[in-house]
Chains A and B, each alone.
Chain A
Amino acid sequence: MRKLIQTLLDHIGARLPLPFRVMHQQFLLRVVDLEALSIEADIPSFLGQFAGILMMLSFVHGLGVLWFPPPPSQTWQYEQARVSDVLLVIGLCSVLMWDTTFPDKRDVMVLAPLPVFPRTILMAKLAASATVLGIAVIALNCGSSLGLSVVFGAPAGGLLGMLRFFLAYWFTMFAAAAFLYGAVLTIQGCAVLFLSRRMFLRVSAILQLAAFGVFLGVRFLQPSLTTHAEMTAPANHWLVVASPTFWFVALLNQLNDSSPSDLLWLAHRAWISLGIVAAGALTSLLLCYMRNMKKTVEDPDLEPGTGGRHWIPRLGGSLQNAIVIFCLRSIARSRQHRVALALYWSVVFAVALSWIRREISNPPEPIALDFIMSSFVMMSFAVLGLRGIFALPVSLQANWMLRVTQLQPTGQYVAATRRCLLLFGVVPIWTMVAALSLHLRPWPQTAQHLAFLALFGAVLVELCLVRFDKVPFTCSYLPGKTNIQAIFWGFAFILLALGLLLGTFEVDAFENPLNYALMMLCAFAAITALRTINSLHARSAVLYFEEQPPEVLTRLGLIFVPPAPKISDLPKSSQP
């Protein structure tokens, strides 16, 4: 996959003008935020791995559809799901690529003195975004498109029907992706044009998080309308009018010639909305590049003080307070870290939103395995995601200050990190699960589950601290250590299996107080043991700020170190 993407990029690149190529390469590097998700600092590798995950999902889906073909009555349900998935993935990509299409100060300062036209910069940025989005759409649909074309296209019109469905499907998916990204660009463009730069920078961060919430919320809270009757019911009229998912499902059916005539207006809505966002995005981008590029340089960097709104309660002793608040501010203010954490937390929010939807639509229900398992998965992703972003540095060059002020033993720094993981990982998830549990009965069992969940969170925290002799957000990492695909699938399988195992045991334990006590005791024992191990290790550990590369890298094979002789090879007089 990596080679394929590299060849593709080289092939396309060779036909384009050099300045465009150079800038496209640079912007692509920044679009995918390799600082946050480093894979050998290599763009094709990253895109390849990203595409690999989506392709795997797509092929699993496609094979599932072929293996267990759904009846034709479920066509709309499947189409809606695919459109929703595309909108979600493109939405998350937009969040990941936030602001990168618009000119920033760095671009202006570096590129404006060079003989490069603003339109070339704009085209290179758009091409970089399109590369990532295109890969996402293709990877997400390559398997599904084949499966769905065979299942839903072939029965209606044979090979031609299959081909027609296939083409309609791809066009719709690209149109949906273009619509969503265009809408994001239009909103951002309006913010750039109508707000002062200072205000824009503030609003942009809020918009990014809001967009993230909206994309997830729509995907997991939006009801599925699977029949013609449901789509045309007056009660659902507001939903089909407001939700782009239904517009693009209608578009797919219009192109496939399978749409009922009374739903064609929805397809028209898709065309009109596409036109509006395309015009909006292009206009705002052009205006930004023509009008705002020079203004960007003129705008002062310095934001005025904002009085006493910066008060934060002390969160522990002197050192702990410093580290915990540093972490909080790094998460809150660093786009790179926020986005990386959002990727992990998207799983948490997806599960939470599914439960909220269930809570709204169903009466109170008994606590069951699926809820217990979900809460373990949420806790695991939240804590391990936090630990993951702790390893990404905020500013390596500024670390000298932490080294000069290292006046406490390493154990104190580990304790501060523990507090961060508990405060920003365990406590929010536990609170969220407690709120979701209000729906569950009987309450004593819910309380038992919450008590165990707290201990489970504490075990995860201690596991995260094993050999973590560094201050969060300060240690350099070696390129190539992160392997997003392995980590993603590792997380998905291990955590789901762990959640299932623990959940099954816990459900049984509710019926047997002795088993429950044993389970709690095991959790306590695990916490104690891990905490002791971490404390003992911290006593002799040295806080480090830079990963040491393997010797083979630093020597580059230029120095030959002879292997140690075997004892039998030594002269007898030297042998012990």
Chain B
Amino acid sequence: MISAADIRTRFRERGFVVDDAYATGLEIMLALQKPLLLEGPAGVGKTESAKVLAEALQARLIRLQCYEGLDSMSALYEWNYPRQMLHARLSESSGSSLEQREAEIFSDAYLLKRPLLEALTQDQAPVLLIDEVDRADEAFEAYLLEVLAEWQVTIPELGTIRARHRPHVVLTSNRTRELSDALRRRCLYLWLPYPSLAQEIEILRARVPGVSEQLADRIAHLMQVLRGLPLQKAPGVAESLDWAMALMSLHREHLDARTLEQTLGCILKVHEDRAVVDEHRAALEPYLSDAPAALEAGGYGLATDFGIGTATPRP
């Protein structure tokens, strides 16, 4: 049994910061062997956390990406019809009995396992990530219920396949559509909010190697302000990581108005949101340093010291 504290350390080792509620959620998901439904705004690390969970448990990650029109054939299994037909034609004159030929045609060799069946037939319990389940339509959701409740799949030609080891199931949803109550009740539920200020600083320091304390602090503060604005697409953690990476690669150690202007594309993904940010510029000001523009003028300026310590020009 893995404790919540244990999960936190294992996630931490892999550069993923989780809070208590989340670690406890994962702990009881493993203990109760129930699926975990993660909801939250885009870019808070729902998918990423399932990947890290698989790594932490040293289990295989099987991913089912949901989309509109996803059907049971692409989620569960399908017979390889062309090969079956070919085999049927070729074995017509082989002299083997009908039963034999039938058993050959409907054997594992002609079964194309899709993610759900794949997850049920593993030797070691895998992590099954059912990503963006809200994108699949209601019919598929109902279908999923059966698999999640019984952990078995019935294939008419082969019989019932029962899970050898219950997979650790993580479902994620961006709430583009309301999920059914039936599905919700079969799952443990976790709402993943945007991280708090302290958490975000911790995440930045864990994920972006070499980011200075001051820069991480500034980025996190600005993100908190930006998420409070009436934006169409509020920036998530993914955006703040991207932004930190961008600033690092541009060798900007300070965040000033000009840098913000140049790198706004990392955080804002909708054109109209730029206007909103311009409108609320005053709210951002306190977190922008007013480094003299002259330093920035010559390309890299003095923001980097090229490894020789800060050079101070003599007066």
Asked if A and B are interacting partners, one says no
Q: Report which A residues bind B (CB closer than 8 A).
A: none
